[in-house]
Amino acid sequence: MSYFHIPVLLKETIEIINPKPGENLIDGTLGGGGHSEAILEKTLPDGKLLGIDLDDEALQESERRLEKYASGCHSSAETMAPSVSSKIILRKGNFADFVEIKEKSNFGSFNIFFLDLGISSQQLNNKTLGISFLKNLPLDMRMGGADCKKDNYKTAEHILNNWNEDAIRLILKNYGEERYAKNIAREIVKERKVNKIIKTEQLVKIISEATPAKYKNQRIHFATRTFQALRIEVNDELKNLENVLPQILENIEIGGRIAVISFHSLEDRIVKQFFQKESKDCICGPEVPVCVCGHQKRLEIITKKPIVASEKEILKNPRARSGKLRVAKKIE
């Protein structure tokens, strides 16, 4: 049984990026390989895939899924992750490091870059991550484990027990858009003076005590935003997204498409603003009468508004409700 989510907006993604025979794909968030498989069906036999993921189980799942497209299946010389064939290369790593991974893999040029920024069911159920508040697990939250973190100490547990109240408040406010960030941060600092906060159940209890009763009757669980904020901070998720988009644009071939599926407003805003900026010839402010920036348009936005899932897809896969797809094409 696969614990990886059903690909969200799959039909729409394929229609909009319109993969062509011989085009090469980098999938920066490979997951179970569903999107990559659908693209490969359009680009093989001459197209290639470089799939990147922090999760070992995701790489194993994708290897099983994509093996049927490979001839002469063999293991990679890299110990990090498997390589299904010379045309289908899978690597363990963070999408923010794709340039280095691409060069080490001798992957060459690429025409499509895809990111699905969602969390898989496998990750939610992982007993060592602690990104879900539905089970009592250690508060780690490092995707890919300690070996994939440059700052091995920066777990959710470390933040909760060592960062000052104001820093915690800002994380919850900025990354979780949590309206009760101040109250929750105050309760966290108060509780850790008595008991070290090490398990998800402890944190949920703290959040419950710091928020009013009416907050617990919302459609979204009252702990969702706090857990999201901590996960984003631990894994530098928004910083990685901000940093990788210019690198993708710099390295992708002219005519290449950048496709991103995001699942909350902070991610979507970063993608939207980057696409808008790079689709303009001038980015000077309105107070500047004559352009002095020299910026040149490099992208054409294909999705003027984000593409969202149909009601039919949401009924089959409730996770799709939050997904937003944006696609742009490099023109220069």
Quick: pLDDT tens for 213-250.
999 988 889 999 999 999 999 999 999 999 999 999 99
Residue 1 has a pLDDT of: 34
Picking from 26-40, 186-200, 279-293, which range would have the lowest pLDDT averaged per residue? 279-293
Last residue of a domain, one of 235, 257, 272: 235
Does the pLDDT at position 82 exceed 80? Answer: no
Q: pLDDT digit string (tens) for 25-75?
A: 999 999 999 999 999 999 999 999 999 999 888 999 999 999 988 763 333
Q: Are residues 205 and 148 in the same domain?
A: yes
- Tell me which amino acid residue 145 is: G
Q: Are residues 166 and 309 in the same domain?
A: no
Q: Are residues 262 and 187 in the same domain?
A: no
Q: Are residues 310 and 265 in the same domain?
A: yes
Mean pLDDT of the chain: 90
CA 52 to chain centre: 11
* Mean pLDDT, rounded, for 119-141: 83
Residue 77 has a pLDDT of: 36
* Mean pLDDT, rounded, for 258-286: 94
Q: Are residues 87 and 137 in the same domain?
A: no
Last residue of a domain, one of 178, 208, 235: 235
Residue 255 has a pLDDT of: 98
178 vs 149: CA distance, rounded Å: 26
Residue 297 has a pLDDT of: 95
Residue 94 has a pLDDT of: 95
The pair of three-digit structure tokens given for residue 131, joined into one six-digit string: 């990104």
Residue 4 has a pLDDT of: 54
Q: Are residues 294 and 195 in the same domain?
A: no
Q: Are residues 68 and 170 in the same domain?
A: no
Residue 145 has a pLDDT of: 60
Residue 57 has a pLDDT of: 87
Residue 26: phi and psi, rounded to 5, are -110, 120
CATH code of residue 170: 1.10.150.170
Residue 5 lies in a domain: no
Q: What is the pTM of this model?
A: 0.91
* Mean pLDDT, rounded, for 78-86: 57
Residue 107 lies in a domain: yes
Count how many domains the chain has.
Answer: 2
Q: Are residues 242 and 229 in the same domain?
A: no
Q: Are residues 76 and 138 in the same domain?
A: no
Residue 3 lies in a domain: no
Residue 87 lies in a domain: yes
Does the pLDDT at position 268 exceed 50? Answer: yes
Residue 84 lies in a domain: yes
Residue 83 has a pLDDT of: 64
Residue 84 has a pLDDT of: 64
* Mean pLDDT, rounded, for 162-175: 98
Q: Are residues 117 and 127 in the same domain?
A: no
- Which contacts of 241-250 are long-range, i.e. CB under 8 A and separated by 24 or more positions? 241/115, 241/117, 241/267, 241/270, 241/271, 242/270, 242/274, 243/96, 244/28, 244/95, 244/96, 244/98, 245/270, 245/271, 245/274, 246/274, 247/98, 247/99, 248/98, 248/113, 249/278, 249/298, 249/299, 249/330
Residue 137 lies in a domain: yes
Residue 192 lies in a domain: yes
CATH code of residue 300: 3.40.50.150
Q: Are residues 88 and 167 in the same domain?
A: no
Residue 4 lies in a domain: no
Last residue of a domain, one of 188, 209, 235: 235
Residue 160 has a pLDDT of: 98
Does the pLDDT at position 194 exceed 70? Answer: yes
Question: Which domain does 268 fall in, by range?
Answer: 10-122+237-330
Q: Are residues 249 and 222 in the same domain?
A: no
Residue 292 has a pLDDT of: 84
Picking from 2-16, 70-84, 95-109, 223-237, which range would have the lowest pLDDT averaged per residue? 70-84
